[in-house]
Amino acid sequence: MASLRSTIEESAWVVEVEKAARNGDPTAEVTRWRRQSIYRVPACIKDLNRRAYQPQVVSLGPFHHGEPNLLPMEEHKRRALLHFLRRSARGRPLAMFAAAVAEAAEELEGAYQGLTDEWRRDTYGDATALDKKRERFLEMMVTDGCFLLEVMRTASGWEVNDYADDDPLFSSHGLLYTVPYIRRDMIMIENQLPLLVLDKLVAVESGIHENEDFINRMVLMFLSPTAWPMEIGAGLALHPLDILRRSLLFGPAPSPRAPPETAPDDIIRSAEELYEAGIRFRRSPTSSLLDIRFHSGVLHLPVVAVDDTTEYILLNLMAFERLHAGAGNDVTAYVFFMDNMIDSARDVALLTARRIIQNTVGSDKAVARLFNGLSRDVVLEPQSALDDVHREVNAYCRRRWHRWRANLVHTYFRSPWSFLSLAAAVFLLVMTIMQTVYTVMPFYRGT
């Protein structure tokens, strides 16, 4: 037994683990988790809809760099870098931009979960090889950052466009046919570039070091020109997907209440069932996903535009909330809420008629199928932001008087003809009663 124990104690993995346990720094692990903000989507999520997480035309960051279908855009990235350098104020050299990004190299590497040894610099191996890894990583960060700046500035008409009129990307033709795909690839959770890169590049280019609000606004205007402007002084967002999420959750969050003794007793009913129970739907004054409330039989819901990118946006936002500790679950709670309300095309038609859903994908059935597929295998936190609305709606539906009144309204007040029929029936009933009264009164007077 002693011989066996001695053999195990000398084994490589035991020695390595013992050394790590003795010399390990717990604070380093805390720092590692705090830095992470860009994640690989687990197979259990990705297998449900792989296309939703796969960039189509451009790679940003290391996770999809070098994939064959994305290689054609590398030439345009390099061209964008050259144009950026030629236009930089006072001809600032590439070395200045690279040095500025290199100052944040550790933080940038830490932003990517599970970064492979191909990119990550560690403490082992040949120093020259390690320097090449860091150099390659910085080259990618600077190139991708300059490319994004050039695309966003071209799309906004910023400064003088020094690209050819027939440029395949940086021209009106490219803005129409290629840039929309770049915009969609920018919301893929695996295809994010830390906005810290843009901050460093813009600081060197402009000589101004307070650019956080400017960068947030520029990225948001590119991703969603009609979005609500971000709050000034909110700090630099993590990446484009984080900016998009913030723009959808603007405004004050629902007031926290005391935790209820029990969870909602059942799922919320479909929109058509709620309508039959007497609940009216009204468009919220804002498009924030937090602006959902129920008062006096009226359910206020934010408007949602459903187009070809809606599914990708919501799936990547939910994946970010699921993988990023502390992000909250506001988007996930909204999707879960809407999925419960939309069971069929009739529910979509009802919400469309109330101007809550703006359908640009075609049939109401396609919209219903989209929302029904979003919440597959969704994990919802025990205390959701919409639990209070959920309870109030269910309590309202359980009251019989509300159902009876709704049935009366829906049956006899749905159209002018139904109302006229009811009025005529009431009039005839009143006239019949009066005729009976006048017929009977002489009899009693005679006696």
Q: Which residues contact 284 (CB under 8 A, 6 or more apart)?
A: 291, 292, 293, 300, 301, 302, 303
Mean pLDDT computed over 255-273: 65
What is the helix (H) or strand (E) element at residue 315, kind and residue range? helix 310-323
In this structure, is residue 265 part of a structural domain? no
On the question of pLDDT at 376 being above 90, the answer is no
Task: Give me the pLDDT at residue 409, please.
Answer: 45
Report helix, strand and coil shares of the chain as percent, to nearest 5.
60, 5, 35
**Predicted local distance difference test score (pLDDT) of residue 365:** 93
Q: pTM value? A: 0.84
Q: Which residue has the tokens 């964008």?
A: 80
378 found inside a domain? yes
> Which residue has better confidence, 262 or 105?
105
Domain-located, residue 108: yes
Q: Are residues 172 and 212 in the same domain?
A: yes
Question: Does residue 119 sit in the same domain as residue 204?
Answer: yes
Residues 53 and 135 in one domain: yes
Residue 366 near residue 352, CB atoms below 8 Å: no
Does pLDDT of 410 surpass 50? no
**What is the spatial distance between Cα 198 and Cα 207, in angstroms, rounded to a whole number?**
13
Number of domains in the chain: 3
Co-location of 331 and 185 in the same domain: no
Domain membership of residue 422 (yes or no) is yes
Q: What is the pLDDT of residues 103-149, one digit of tens each?
A: 999 999 999 998 877 776 655 555 566 588 889 999 999 999 999 99
**Separation of alpha carbons 275 and 61, rounded Å:** 47
Q: Which of 204, 233, 248 is the last residue of a domain?
A: 248
141 with 85, same domain?
A: yes
Tokens at residue 418, please?
């139904």
- 213 and 138 share one domain: yes
- Mean pLDDT of the residues in the chain: 83
At residue 405, the pLDDT reads 47
- Confidence bin at 390 (pLDDT 50/70/90): confident
Q: Residue 440: its pLDDT value, please?
A: 65
Could you tell me if 297 and 349 lie in one domain? yes
pLDDT > 70: what percent of the chain? 78
Q: What is the pLDDT of residue 412?
A: 45
Instruction: Give φ, ψ of 87 to 5 degrees.
Output: -90, -10
Within a domain: residue 338? yes
Domain assignment of residue 122, given as a range: 34-248
Whether residues 333 and 285 fall in one domain: yes
What phi and psi values does residue 362 have, to the nearest 5 degrees?
Answer: 125, -120
**Per-residue pLDDT at 426:** 64
Q: Are both 424 and 379 inside the same structural domain? A: no
- The pLDDT value recorded for residue 359 is 92
Looking at residue 212, its pLDDT comes to 94
3-state SS class at 359: strand
Tell me the mean pLDDT in the region 168-172: 92
Confidence at 283, pLDDT banded by 50, 70, 90: very high
Helical packing angle, 127-156 and 94-102, nearest 10°: 110
pLDDT at 262 over 60: no
Q: Which of 14-18, 369-373, 429-433, 440-444 has the highest mean pLDDT?
A: 369-373
- SS in 3 state form for 76-91? HHHHHHHHHHHHCHHH
Classify residue 259: in a domain, yes or no. no
The percentage of the chain sitting over the pLDDT mark of 90, rounded to a whole number, equals 52
More confident residue, 166 or 414: 166
In a domain, 1, yes or no: no
76 in the same domain as 215: yes
**Nearest Cα to 340, choosing from 285, 272, 258?**
272
For residue 2, being part of any structural domain is answered with no
177-225 pLDDT, tens digit each: 999 999 999 999 999 999 999 999 999 998 888 899 999 999 999 999 8
Say whether both 294 and 390 belong to one domain: yes
Least confident of 12-16, 69-73, 166-170, 290-294: 12-16
Q: What is the mean pLDDT of residues 62-88?
A: 94
Determine the Cα–Cα distance for residues 348 and 364; give it in Å rounded to an integer. 6
Strands 304-306 and 357-359: parallel
Q: Do 345 and 427 belong together in one domain? A: no
Largest pairwise CA distance in the chain: 127
